[in-house]
């Protein structure tokens, strides 16, 4: 099955600096890559996603890039703010053999701390 | 937040007892999922449903069963709870599983249930 590796597991940055989180995946058939943000004690919430027919996507201070050849994708956060502090999860969507449905496989998460 | 609720939100139980967690949605989405979240493991899929009475196993299904008798409800049952099932359980829903480029496959998560098995 699909395997998603996420690095780093923890990341500390100064307010205003940029943060980059990287993920690699194993199944070349994966075609959808969402990123979730989870604040302490809260549910994961989708912040941005990218599909396999696109190389880069931006939404204000966040961007995601996808390199299908190398099978990796990255989350970029610019001008970080204290409210960006959270755990971020990447995921890859692949066809699951069980019932012909697509499933998400998640990375283990990155705890981002933005220091004021 | 999408119209997803989970009950109970917190539960403490003893080893060997049965436990049922409920996920309820008001979005009329076809797909529903149960995940568990543990430190160092991220989110792992337990079971999912692709329609009423249609379910299948995920990555970590041992010790769990599910049922979906109505579009809006997806139940997760631990037949005989063990300490290794202490975790935070999240339900998620998605409208569909469309082609790449479709927005119907976005998964939205419920608020979670914290389960402690003593």
Tell me the residues of A at the B interface, defined by beta carbons under 8 Å apart: 1, 6, 31-32, 34, 36, 42-46, 49, 51-53, 89, 91, 93, 96, 98-99, 101-109
Q: Do A52 and B58 touch (CB under 8 A)?
A: no
Is residue A116 scored above 80 in pLDDT?
Answer: yes
Which tens digit of pLDDT belongs to each residue from A23-77? Answer: 999 998 888 899 999 999 999 999 999 988 789 999 999 999 999 999 999 999 9
Is residue B92 scored above 90 in pLDDT?
Answer: yes
Q: Do B45 and A104 touch (CB under 8 A)?
A: yes
Task: Write down the pLDDT at residue A1.
Answer: 77
Task: Look over chain B and give the mean of its residue pLDDT values, rounded to a whole number.
Answer: 91
Question: Residue A100: which residues within 8 A CB-CB, separation 6 or more?
Answer: none
Between B39 and B114, the more confident residue is B114
Alpha carbon distances (Å) from B99 to A51, B2, B57, B71: 10, 22, 22, 22
Question: Residue A75: which residues within 8 A CB-CB, separation 6 or more?
Answer: A20, A21, A23, A35, A48, A62, A63, A64, A88, A90
Task: Name the pLDDT band for A82 (thresholds 50, 70, 90).
Answer: very high
CA pair distance B28, B81, nearest whole angstrom: 31
Lowest pLDDT segment from B85-89, B92-96, B103-107: B103-107
Which residues in B lie closer than 8 A to residue A105 (C-beta atoms)? 45, 59
Residue A6, both tokens: 């996420």
Is residue B104 scored above 70 in pLDDT?
Answer: no
Residue A32: which of B56, B105, B109 has the nearest Cβ?
A: B105
Distance from CA of A100 to the nearest CA of B (A): 10
Whether chain A has a CB inside 8 Å of the CB on B89: the answer is: no
Q: Do B44 and A106 touch (CB under 8 A)?
A: yes
Residue A53: which of B45, B101, B109 has the nearest Cβ?
A: B101
Is residue B103 scored above 60 in pLDDT?
Answer: no
């Amino acid at each position: 099955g699909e395997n998603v590796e996420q690095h780093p597991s923890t990341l500390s940055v100064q307010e205003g600096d940029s943060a980059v989180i990287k993920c690699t995946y194993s199944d070349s058939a994966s075609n959808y890559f969402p990123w979730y943000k989870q604040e302490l004690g809260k549910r994961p919430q989708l912040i941005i996603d990218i599909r396999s027919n696109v190389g880069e996507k931006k939404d204000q201070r966040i961007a995601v890039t996808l390199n299908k050849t190398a099978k990796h994708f990255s989350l970029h956060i610019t001008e970080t703010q204290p409210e960006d502090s959270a755990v971020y999860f990447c995921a890859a969507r692949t066809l699951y053999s069980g019932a012909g449905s697509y499933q998400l496989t998640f990375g283990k998460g990155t705890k981002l701390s933005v220091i004021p | 937040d999408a119209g997803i609720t989970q009950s109970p939100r917190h539960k403490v139980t003893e080893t060997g007892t049965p436990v049922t967690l409920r996920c309820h949605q008001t979005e009329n989405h076809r797909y529903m999922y149960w995940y568990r979240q543990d430190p160092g493991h991220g989110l792992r899929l337990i079971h999912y449903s692709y329609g009423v009475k249609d379910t299948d196993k995920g990555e970590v299904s041992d010790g769990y069963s599910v049922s979906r008798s109505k579009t809006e409800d997806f139940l997760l049952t631990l037949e005989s709870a063990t300490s290794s099932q202490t975790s935070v359980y999240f339900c998620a829903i998605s409208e569909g599983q469309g082609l790449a480029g479709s927005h119907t496959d976005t998964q939205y998560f419920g608020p979670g249930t914290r389960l402690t098995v003593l």
